[in-house]
Amino acid sequence: QVQLVESGGGLVQPGGSLRLSCVTSGFTLANYAIHWFRQAPGKEREGIACIKPSGGETYYKDSVRGRFTISKDDAKSTAYLQMNSLKPEDTAVYYCTRSRWCPAAVGENDYWGQGTQVTVSS
Task: Return the pLDDT at 92.
Answer: 98
Burial of 105 (0-12, 13-18, 19+ CB in 10 A): exposed
Confidence of residue 106 (pLDDT cuts 50, 70, 90): confident
Average pLDDT value over all residues in the chain? 96
Confidence of residue 15 (pLDDT cuts 50, 70, 90): very high
Distance of CA 99 to CAs 39, 86, 106, Å? 18, 26, 9
**Cα–Cα nearest to 12, from 84, 120, 92, 117:** 120
- Are the beta carbons of 103 and 35 closer than 8 angstroms? yes
- Are the beta carbons of 68 and 80 closer than 8 angstroms? no
Distance of CA 16 to the CA centre of its chain: 17
Q: Are strands 10-12 and 68-73 parallel, antiparallel or unpaired?
A: unpaired
Q: At 112, which amino acid appears?
A: W
- Evaluate if residue 107 carries a pLDDT over 90: no
pLDDT digits (tens, 9 = 90+) for 35-88: 999 999 999 999 999 999 998 899 999 999 999 999 999 999 999 999 999 999
